[in-house]
Structure formats: C-alpha cells, structure tokens
Structure 1
Amino acid sequence: MSGNLVGEEPALTTDPVDIWHRVHPISPLVRGWVAVAAIVFVLGRNSLEELFYATDNGIGVKGPDLAELRVLFAVTGVAVLVFSIAFFLQWRFTRYQVTDEHVHINSGVIFRQQRRARIDRVQAIDVVQPLLARAFGLAELKFEVADGGKSALKLSFLKLREAKRLRAAILARAAGVHVDPDAPTEVQEAPEVHALALPPARIFAAAIFSGTSVFALLVIAGAAVAWIWTGEWAVMVAAVPFFIGIFASYWQSVTTDFNFRIAVSPDGVRLHYGMLETRSQTIPPGRVQAVDISQGPMWRPLGWYKVRVNVAGYGSDSSDNGTRTVLLPVGTLDEVMTVLGLVFPNPGVENPFEVFTAGLKGPADAHGFVHSPRQARWIDPLTWRRSAYRATDTALLCRHGLVFRRLQVVPHERTQSLALRQGPIMKALGLANFELHSTVGPIHPLVRHMSTANALALFDQQAFRAATARRLHRKEKWLSQDEPPAPPAPDAPATPSPEPAAAAHQPLKENHHGD
C-alpha cells in the first residue's frame, strides 16, 4: 500500500505503524444520498399536498406560494448542507491500516472509535456493491472476526479493484503467507474454480413455492370472505398494505438470490449473488461451524433443499435478513452434496451420499442412524422415528422434523459444549434431549427424545471425539509452512504428555446437566 492517503494504487504490502489510508473521496455521496433523498421527498410531498384542496366537484389546484417555496428550498438546502458536512467529516476522520497481524480502523468525529481485529481470527470477508456504488465502481469491504456475533468491521467505500486486493492481502496473511515489507510484491487475488450456479428460473420458482405464497393465499381468502360477508369494497382496499408487503418479500427474495454462484479457491469458498446490490463472500477453510439442510413441504415434490451455516462472527445475521448465512438458497440433492463437499472435504464415511441421503429422507434406522425409542411416541407421536443421530469419523449428524425436515452437521472439532436436558415427563419416560452448542447463528444442533442410556453414551463419546479432533485439527493459518519444533534444552527434564482421553474429556463432561 502507498503511504499517501489518496493516490495511485501500488502494490499491497505490509503497512508500517505510521502509515494510514483513507477510503475513497466519493464515499460521502454514496453513503449519504439516501438521507438527502428522504429529506427532499418528505418536504416535497408536504408542499405538493398543499397545492390541492377538496371541492364539491372534486379536487382543486391552487397556485404555488412563492414565500412557501423559498422557505422550502431554504430548509432543503440547509438540511442537505448539514448532512453533506456530517458525511464529509465522517469520511475525513475515518482511516484504516493493515499490518501483518491486525486490521485497524479509526472513525468518529465527536465520539472517536478505534477498532482492531486480529487477522488470524478473520472468519469471512465480503465485497459488497450497492447500486449507486456500482455506478462509481466502488465497493464496501466487510469482514467478520470471531467476536461472538458483534458488529463487523467495514470499509466504505473503496475502488472495487482496491477492495479485492485488500481482501486478497488479508486472506493471504490470515493463511500464513508472509509479506516482506522490504520487498514489495503484488498480492494477487487467488484464482477460483466454478462449482455450481443456480438458474434464474429456479430462483423465481423458489420464491413462488414458499411461505410467502401461503400467506398471500390466506390474505386473498380472508379479504374475499370479508367482502362477501360485508359487501363493501373497502375491505379489499384494506388488504392493499398486505399485498405491498407480499410483493416486497417476493422482490427481496428474487433480487437477493439472483445470479447465485459458488466457487472454490485457496482462500476458501466464495459466494457471488445479487441483482441490484451484488455481494461476494469468502469463507476461509475450516471457518464453518455447523451446517443445516432443510426442506419444507412445498419443496418436497420438487426435491429442493436449503443449506445454512453457522460462521463465527456472523451471529444471528439479522442485519442482512439472514442472507449471509445461506450457503445454498435452493438446490437439488446433488447440489447439496457438492456444497457439503466444499465445506467438509472429509465426511468421515466411505459412502457419504447414501449416509447423508438417509439423514434427509431415508428410513428411520438406515445407515447407522439411531432414532428415538418407542416410548417417545407418547410425547412425539408423529416425528419420534425421524429424531435420530449418527456419528461419523469427522462430524455428528442430527436429524429431526417431519413436515419441515432438517439434517444438522457439526464437525467434531467445532463442538463448543454439550448439554443434556430432561423434564419431569421425559424423566418418567426415560428420555432426554441432547444439545450440541455451536457458535451464535441460525443453527442450534439438537437430538430430541433419546433414551437416557443413549443420551449419556452419546454425551461421553462426543466429548471424547471433540477433544480428540481439536488436537488433530488443521492449523488456523492454512497456507503457512510448519516450523520444526525447537529441541529441548540438554538439562531440561522430559515432561510426560497427559493421557489424551483424560486430558480433554473431562472439561466437556463438566457441561453435563439436567433440567
């Protein structure tokens, strides 16, 4: 990076501690145009309404009051000026710096904010282009760290080329690739290989065959019944806001998932999607904490599934309507298996397609799945045979649901903690729920209504598997070269290593509790 705040785009190198950079000078316009447009719309609408008045013959129009127009233009001009100054100062006092170990972002005018994120804790990076930013060739760089779902770090806005190069530099350093500050070299974006793309027709069909359509049918039926009952057309007019909301839901679903593509690169899994606002997500290797494959009743005849993920730093993903945690918005069974192969290269079984298919729609006890015992039918008469689990060498599979089928996959090394829950009725029936805690996100792995004996056995076995997998798990810097261990000092006594099972089994066992 250059030492100048604004200038040409040289090679991306490590920043010294005294070198800082600013975002693009046009960023205030891209960020503030919505606020300015809202002010103009509100003031203009009020003035426009004053030009009309009701008469016995309809609506009359009166001429504009020049004094009122002057006041309107003055107020609008002052508001635009104030917002422009505010966004300019926000740009002026926003600086960023990328070193070998951290990303620093300083912002704020009155209340100063200094944020720092460790590069090796970066969980995912997005390059986002809103509609106006695309017109100027700008993009927002947004990256998440393992901070339990707090707000992400953002750089708004950079030239698209600069945002991609900065993403490449951060991912290269997170991967352990050394950047020599004394030998500037261009950090090229890692090449990607296309994995799959969703056709537009399926995106439209998925929006139609969704819960939004069910709600729309209910609104139409309710409005029709009310109109027949009352005979008043005003009932249909009252349903207009509902139809506007339904249309907005369809529009958001289609524009968000439009042109959805998945690719793989040394940096990780890349997702590209969006019609008006385009987004390019990069999830580095090993950052996916859990996967959820779901299928609703309307998609079952079509054989479609939805895949969501837990990624440390994304949290509940409420700020982006949950789109960032979607790994595959609508896909066939083969496409689901392709996506699983990208995030879980080693499924831990010799026949992964058959095992995962059995988890989604197979018989209750097929391919080693252990389902709930018969006494569970007293509290879960419809789905007790669908509640099951299966442990592979690398992950735990949790299955439940009859109307809405779900299969949850959690790698052993990503297990955060375990819990057993048992209420008085379940205790009387000899049942217990097994919970596997992941990071904050839309997925909450759970095995319902297990026999107490199976629950206790699974608790102990999963605690051991998780502890063992964490010791054997790949390094966080996935492209770094392993350094040979330092030889012990000649006079240093040898330290015996703890027993593997006892060393890591006990901490997880402390999480065992009942309600």
Structure 2
Amino acid sequence: MSEQRPGGDQDFSTDAPEIWHRVHPVSPLVRGWVAVAAVVFVFGRNSLDSLFTGGWNGGSSLTGGAPPWLIAAVVGAAVVIFGVAFYLSWRFTRYQVTDDHVHINSGVIFHQQRRARIDRVQAIDVVQPLVARAFGLAELKFEVADGGKSAMKLAFLKLAEAKRLRAAILARAAGVVVDAASPALVQEAPETPVLELKPARIVGAAVLSSTTVVALGLLAAVIGLGAWSGRPGTLVVALPIFIGIGASYWKAVTGDFNFRIARSPDGVRLHYGLLETRAQTIPPGRVQAVGISQGPLWRPLGWYKVHVNVAGYGSDASQHGSRTVILPAGTLDEVMAVLGLVFPDPGVDNPFEVFTAGLRGHGNAEGFIHSPRSALWIDPLTWRRNAFRATGTALLCRHGLVFRRLQVVPHERTQSLGLRQGPLMAALGLVDFELHSTVGHIRPLVRHMSVANGLQLFDEQAARAATARRIHRSEKWLQADPPAGAAVAAEHHHTIEEQHSGD
C-alpha cells in the first residue's frame, strides 16, 4: 500500500483488488492479554494460597497436591491453545483499501466480511492502549454514517503504518483523483496547532465538575446519617460509592490529559490521553451539531465545554462521551477558536457578539427571540434565557440558567423538525420546537416558544434546511468546487420547477 521515497517521505497509494494486507503478528496477544493475565492470576492465587496454608515444605502444597508433570502438562497445553488461537486470529484477519472502499475480513469459525464506503467515513482515530504502546502498535478506528453502530477497527498496526493508512483513507475521502495508469501518491496532511490545555486546567475541570457536587452531597448525607444513628461505621457502607467517584475523577483526568487541537486539510485533529493515547481526525463538514455548555462551578473561571454530534459516533457511551468532546474546558476565546474550526461560516457579521449573547445573554440581545411572558408560569427563572436565533448558515438554540447551554445546528444538517405541546402549554399558548440532528450528545431544543413563533420557525427552518442541502458543497472537500454561480443557478432552476409543479 505504501512506498518509501529515498528522501524519507512516506507516500500513500490504494490497493489493487488482488492485494490484501495483514495486521501485525503481535496483535492477538495485545488484544488477548487480559485472558492470559486471568489464567496467570488464577494459577498464581492458588499457589499463594497453598504457600500460606502449607508452606514450602515438600513443595506439593504449591501445586495443590498435583504432581509436577501434570502441572507442566496443563501449562504447556494452555500455551499451545493460546498460541494456536492467536495465530488463527492473526491468519484470518486481513484488510484492503481501494479507491472506494475499506474491506476488513476476520473470523476463524464464523467469517465476517465488512466493507465501508470511503466517501461515508465520518472520523478516524489512531488509538494506542498502554500495552499496544509498549510494542509500538496502534489501532485504527474509523466511523461511517450509520448511527454509532458502524465502527470498523484494524488492531493492531505499527504506528507509522496506522498513520499512513489514515492518510490514504482521508485522501480518498477528500476526493483526491487517482490516475489508473499512474496512481497519485498523497502525503499525510500537515497540521497547525491551535491550542493546548495545561494539566492544571484538566485537573481543575475534573475537580469542579458535577461529580464533585454529587460527592459532597453524598458525603454530607452519609455523615448526617452516621450522626443521627450514632454509628460511624455507616461511612464504610458508602466506601464502594466513593471508590467509584474516585475512578470517575481518574478517568476524566487521564482521558483528557495532554489535550491538543490542531487544524489540517484533513479536518480537525485532536490529541489526548495519558495511559491510552488517541489521535482523532474529524474531516471537514462531518460535524452535524455543536453544543456549548457551562456548569455553575465553572462560571467564575469562565470555562466552557464543547461537544459535537458526528454521524457514526452515536451517544458514545463506551467512551463516556470523550470522543464527542472537542474542548474539555476552554475560555470564551478558545471556544470561538474551536467554533472557527468546525463551523467556519457562522452566517453573521459579528459572530463573537452573537455567540456571546447565546452563552451569557438574556432577553432579545443580538437578535435572539425568547419565550413570551406567559412562560413565566412554568419557567419563572429561565423564560428570558430560552431563546433562538437563525443566522444565514445555522440555527442557534439557547436555554438553561444554572447549566447554560447553546446548541448550533447548520441548516444543511437538519434531519427533521417537530413541535411538541402538552395540555398546560396549550393553555398558555406555548410550544417546544425540536430540531432532530444525528444521534449524539446534543439534542437541539427551543423551549416554551409562543405558538406563532413556533409555527413560523417550523416553516422557515424547513425551507432553510432544504435550500442549504441543495447548495451544500460536495462531501469530498478537496474536490474542485463547481463553477461560480452553478449552485445558485441550480437552486433557481429547482425553485422554478417547484413553482410549476404547484400551479
């Protein structure tokens, strides 16, 4: 798949139909080390139990009374079984990258053949778990637009090979043309650093998170219960819960440690992780929605968290949402810098003022339209915070007082719209507006609008979304754009056809 030039630059080309590749021979061991460790643990624990109960005398207690030749035979059989299983797992796993698809075949007894269209690739990660890093290996994980159930993995490859493969897939997804007679070789796109979070920021964000509020509340409840019952031992009962809270802190700190974000022609690149490192690439135009949030403990420091919805990530429950976070804790200026990467055209002349009003403002500042006064009866504190504004390229949804949230959805990424109204809201003349994006952390919603504003927004947003999808540029971001005016002409032609069809 790859060629090496004498000068040392690594280039990339896709595979012919008859060419297949295998993962690194050590891959099964890296994947299955937990099973090996479990066998060693069980055997070692039994040996230690025998040691403390029977001592060293005779040595038979260490083997539970079994003869040494039997123990050696069991160990040898385990080595052979694991060795054969690992070899077959490696032998029957192969992959291929063509100009249009990525193929992965695996399975010994039950064969699995997976194929993903390269132009549907939404994001690519190069992941290095701790054990894989010891061998200089990495896992290549990429998502296609399939609601979070389509992750394809190649585990494990040499780190350099994983990067080369990532570059090859991204180049083809970007629309780089390959001449069949002389295939184009594409170098890995360079990246320009944008920002880096210091360890103190990561630790501070974890300590000042909602986990701390829960921990303090639980601690107060346990201490109060112990004082009321006169049994200080009550604290022991809550010990497993506090261990779980400590594990949550550990995961938050190690997961976001060394967080860096950069831009490249391939898209937004994220680097993070302490024990397991991850290099994440989100190509241009793959972000379906952006969510900015701020908890009460972060407000004095002016920190915000930025999430994104990306087709293929889904709710990201397996990673506790870390893959959908593109800024764990950033200042307002850093938030604007990140928004400029994933949302380069905000559709307004004063984006800083508009987005600041979306994050901190109340009322109708900077063109936001908030809930009517009748919402005071069911939303007395936040009725002036709940608001929306449509720009030339996106819809902004603002809500929340204690936990502030601003959700941004590009018009062309609108999947569907909905209006929701209960009996009490109907009596007050209110309605909730729902904008359905790709499944993910962000669920855009405008709360407690007037019925008139809700119906108007429903009709206007549907028209904006339809127009934006028709003139949206190709998903292949490095393809040449159509001639100037072609998109407008196409839109005009479509509008005329709609008018004729309605006559």
Name the TM-score, length of structure 1 as normaliser.
Answer: 0.88
Question: Is structure 2 residue 497 aligned with structure 1 residue 498?
Answer: no
Deviations 1:131-166 (A, max 9, x none): 111121111110000112213011001111111111
Counterpart secondary structure, 1:319: helix
Deviations 1:188-207 (A, max 9, x none): 11001111111110101111
Deviations 1:35-65 (A, max 9, x none): 2112322343344345546xxxxxx968661
Note if contact 1:40-1:76 (Cα within 8 Å) is conserved in structure 2: no
What amino acid sits opposite 1:247 in the alignment? G
Which residue number corresponds to residue 510 of structure 1?
none
CA, structure 1 residues 403+242, in 2 after alignment: closer, same or farther (shift >3 Å)? same
Which residue number corresponds to residue 435 of structure 1?
434
Counterpart secondary structure, 1:347: coil
Q: How does 1:412-451 map to 2 (within 5 A)?
A: 412-451=411-450
> How far apart are residue 186 of structure 1 and its match?
4.2
Note if contact 2:361-2:385 (Cα within 8 Å) is conserved in structure 1: no
> How far apart are residue 244 of structure 1 and its match?
1.7
Which residue number corresponds to residue 123 of structure 1?
122
> How far apart are residue 181 of structure 1 and its match?
4.7
**Mind listing any 5+ residue stretches in structure 1 that lack a counterpart?**
4-8, 54-59, 486-495, 507-515
Q: Distance in 2 between matches of 1:500 and 1:344?
A: 31
Q: Which aligned segments of 4 or more residues in structure 1 are displaced greater than 6 angstroms? A: none
Note if contact 1:12-1:184 (Cα within 8 Å) is conserved in structure 2: no
Deviations 1:384-416 (A, max 9, x none): 111100000000000111111100000001001
Note if contact 2:395-2:410 (Cα within 8 Å) is conserved in structure 1: yes
Note if contact 2:124-2:282 (Cα within 8 Å) is conserved in structure 1: yes
Q: How does 1:362-373 map to 2 (within 5 A)?
A: 362-373=361-372
CA, structure 1 residues 46+424, in 2 after alignment: closer, same or farther (shift >3 Å)? farther
What amino acid sits opposite 2:364 in the alignment? D
Q: How does 1:96-495 map to 2 (within 5 A)?
A: 96-183=95-182, 186-482=185-481
What amino acid sits opposite 1:387 in the alignment? N
Between the two proteins, the alignment pairs up a number of residues equal to 484
Q: Distance in 2 between matches of 1:361 and 1:414?
A: 25
Q: Distance in 2 between matches of 1:232 and 1:257?
A: 40
Moved more, 134-143 or 85-94: 85-94
What amino acid sits opposite 1:42 in the alignment? V
Note if contact 2:419-2:454 (Cα within 8 Å) is conserved in structure 1: yes
CA, structure 1 residues 449+80, in 2 after alignment: closer, same or farther (shift >3 Å)? farther
Deviations 1:445-475 (A, max 9, x none): 0001111100000001001111111111111
Counterpart secondary structure, 1:397: strand
Q: Distance in 1 between matches of 2:105 and 2:78?
A: 27
Note if contact 1:14-1:180 (Cα within 8 Å) is conserved in structure 2: no
Counterpart secondary structure, 2:103: strand
Moved more, 244-253 or 225-234: 225-234
Which residue number corresponds to residue 489 of structure 2?
none
Note if contact 1:13-1:181 (Cα within 8 Å) is conserved in structure 2: no
Which residue number corresponds to residue 18 of structure 1?
18
Note if contact 2:473-2:481 (Cα within 8 Å) is conserved in structure 1: no
Q: Distance in 2 between matches of 1:40 and 1:240?
A: 29
> How far apart are residue 245 of structure 1 and its match?
1.1
CA RMSD of aligned residues (A): 2.5
Note if contact 1:390-1:398 (Cα within 8 Å) is conserved in structure 2: yes
Deviations 1:74-110 (A, max 9, x none): 6565445434432321211111110011101111111
CA, structure 1 residues 394+43, in 2 after alignment: closer, same or farther (shift >3 Å)? same
> How far apart are residue 13 of structure 1 and its match?
1.7
What amino acid sits opposite 2:372 in the alignment? P
Note if contact 1:258-1:273 (Cα within 8 Å) is conserved in structure 2: yes
Q: Distance in 2 between matches of 1:372 and 1:172?
A: 46
> How far apart are residue 235 of structure 1 and its match?
2.6
Question: Is structure 2 residue 33 aligned with structure 1 residue 37?
Answer: no
Note if contact 1:165-1:187 (Cα within 8 Å) is conserved in structure 2: no
CA, structure 1 residues 264+484, in 2 after alignment: closer, same or farther (shift >3 Å)? closer
Note if contact 2:48-2:62 (Cα within 8 Å) is conserved in structure 1: no
Deviations 1:244-266 (A, max 9, x none): 21221111111110010010000
CA, structure 1 residues 74+368, in 2 after alignment: closer, same or farther (shift >3 Å)? farther
CA, structure 1 residues 328+11, in 2 after alignment: closer, same or farther (shift >3 Å)? closer
> How far apart are residue 12 of structure 1 and its match?
2.7
**Mind listing any 5+ residue stretches in structure 2 that lack a counterpart?**
4-8, 485-491
> How far apart are residue 232 of structure 1 and its match?
4.2
Q: Distance in 2 between matches of 1:435 and 1:73?
A: 66
Q: Distance in 2 between matches of 1:217 and 1:470?
A: 48
> How far apart are residue 230 of structure 1 and its match?
4.4
